[in-house]
Structure 1
Amino acid sequence: MKVLRYSTQIHKWIGLVVGVQVLFWVAGGVVMTAIPIETVRSEHRLKPASPVALPVEQVLPLADVVQTTGIAPARAELKGTQRGPAWVLTPSGAEAVTLNATTGRPFAAMDANEVSALAMAAYRGTAAAQPPILLDQAPKETGRDGPIWRVNFKDAERTTFYLSPQTGEVVTRRSAVWRFYDFFWRLHILDFKNGDNFNHPLLVGLTVLTLSIVVTGFILLWIRLSRDLKMARAVRAARRKAG
């Protein structure tokens, strides 16, 4: 039968093309379901945030800060941090600017000792911390831009805290578990650059090819089952005649 022959050829050759990627999809699915997302995010390594008193009487009014800095924010947030109250001003179409809410100026630079103290205060566990490193540009894995402090811990997951150089807050957490998970995630969606694009042509094309394997597989199954049923009926009919 031509349909059977063509379906078999299509199924076989496309299977060779997409088989490896299907293996990656399945392996990635196993990894993403087997590892709790809380562990991937190192939530078990971060202490619950302690409430920070906000000395309202010392905070400069937003209007004064805007006038002093010349920043016209589309959004403004006043928050307490371990280094004191902070105004976070976000201009329209620009990056947020964090300022000391008591002075209206950027926070003073932190030294390594202060960074270590803040990181250890936020860390849940008994592992020691390695010396902090100030990076001029945040790594891609943080999803951030600009300078950032990195503190590595000597625990089983090789946890890393990234701290804001302004407020000392832990803004991103990473670990060997996260990097292992991220590797399979990128294999899963075939975006090795940013790891967030679900709609690129390679992924769409392979998905269509995989769908064609499923369709041709059902065609082959239907044809083979129909043929087997016909053969079974013929055998039963022959036995009745012989009996």
Structure 2
Amino acid sequence: MLRWSIWFHKWIALIVGVQVLGWVLGGLIMTAIPIEKVHGDQHAATPALAPIDLKKLVSLEKQLALADQTDVASATLKNTPRGPIWVLKSAAGSEGWWNAYTGENIDEIKGPDARRYALMAYKGAGKLAAVDYEETAPKEAQVSGPLWRASFSDAEHTRLYLDAFTGEVLSRRSSLWGLYDVFYQIHIMNFGASRSYNHPAIVIVTAATLMIVLTGFVLLWIKIGRDLAGLLARRSQALRLGRAKT
């Protein structure tokens, strides 16, 4: 048993040791850095939006008639930086955006508006360095669809991702978030977009780590047993020698 316990303990520890180090480092990073700083809350400003004027508001019934859509699965009224908007989502998943005061279908916001909305959503010493339109959302934004990326020149290199139709902030990112995310992916052993920890790799490595602990206990138990047996043997021998001398 001792030989097999040593063999399992040594080789399993060698295989999963790197990932265990990743778990520890990831845990250290995630506990040492306040999550508020990772989210960029220190640079988050709440835009002062005018309240929705209910007298001007197009009712949902009228909006559906104007949109001429019969397969609407959900309708959401949003108060956005560009004003109240009806967001109509079809059963197939496609979305349409409509001015909630006029009922007209709206287009994507332009660069000057994107800059203005980004400045409304930011506070800090940084300057707005660039505003870029992204047809396909980058991986770090963790959203889908076209959007605007606003980059600021602060110490954290803050980046805001704005909805291409409403001007709302969909996600905030920074160099600190990038560091945090790398260690988070290592921690959950998932480098995909899902960020799920329910996958075979982490289950296998966790089970292997459990084996290291169990075989370690076996080795410890055997070592303690041998040391105790040796101690008793030496004590018995000392007693025999003492009697022989007397």
Tell me the residue number matched to 2:12: 14
CA–CA separation in structure 1 for the residues paired with 2:202 and 2:128: 40
Q: Which moved more, 1:107-116 or 1:118-127?
A: 107-116
CA–CA separation in structure 2 for the residues paired with 1:224 and 1:51: 70
**Partner SS state of residue 48, structure 1:** coil
Q: Which moved more, 1:40-49 or 1:118-127?
A: 40-49
Tell me the residue number matched to 1:38: 36
CA–CA separation in structure 2 for the residues paired with 1:48 and 1:11: 54
CA–CA separation in structure 2 for the residues paired with 1:190 and 1:61: 48
CA–CA separation in structure 1 for the residues paired with 2:219 and 2:157: 50
Matches within 5 A, 1:7-156: 7-69=5-67, 70=69, 72-92=71-91, 94-156=93-155
User: Normalization by structure 2: what TM-score?
Assistant: 0.91
The answer as to whether partners of 1:107 and 1:167 remain within 8 angstroms in 2 is no
The answer as to whether partners of 2:49 and 2:81 remain within 8 angstroms in 1 is no
Q: Does 1:161 align with 2:133?
A: no
Q: Which moved more, 1:202-211 or 1:73-82?
A: 73-82
Tell me the residue number matched to 2:170: 171
Partner letter of residue 227 of structure 2? D
CA–CA separation in structure 2 for the residues paired with 1:192 and 1:24: 13
Partner letter of residue 208 of structure 1? A
Q: Which moved more, 1:146-155 or 1:66-75?
A: 66-75
Tell me the residue number matched to 2:222: 223
User: Alpha-carbon deviation of 1:93?
Assistant: 5.0
User: Alpha-carbon deviation of 1:170?
Assistant: 1.1
Matched length: 241
CA–CA separation in structure 2 for the residues paired with 1:183 and 1:168: 28
The answer as to whether partners of 2:43 and 2:122 remain within 8 angstroms in 1 is yes
Tell me the residue number matched to 1:4: 2
User: Alpha-carbon deviation of 1:195?
Assistant: 4.8
CA–CA separation in structure 2 for the residues paired with 1:163 and 1:242: 87
CA-to-aligned-CA distance 1:184-203 (integer Å, 9 cap, x gap): 11111221122512122222
Partner letter of residue 141 of structure 1? E
Larger radius of gyration: 2
- The alignment yields a C-alpha RMSD, in angstroms, of 1.7
User: Alpha-carbon deviation of 1:111?
Assistant: 2.6
Unaligned runs of 5+ in 1: none
CA–CA separation in structure 1 for the residues paired with 2:60 and 2:42: 36
CA–CA separation in structure 2 for the residues paired with 1:53 and 1:71: 30
CA–CA separation in structure 1 for the residues paired with 2:78 and 2:2: 68
CA-to-aligned-CA distance 1:63-94 (integer Å, 9 cap, x gap): 11112221543332222122111112233351
Partner letter of residue 230 of structure 1? A
The answer as to whether partners of 1:112 and 1:131 remain within 8 angstroms in 2 is no
**Partner SS state of residue 130, structure 1:** strand
Matches within 5 A, 1:182-193: 182-193=181-192
User: Normalization by structure 1: what TM-score?
Assistant: 0.92
The answer as to whether partners of 1:153 and 1:160 remain within 8 angstroms in 2 is yes
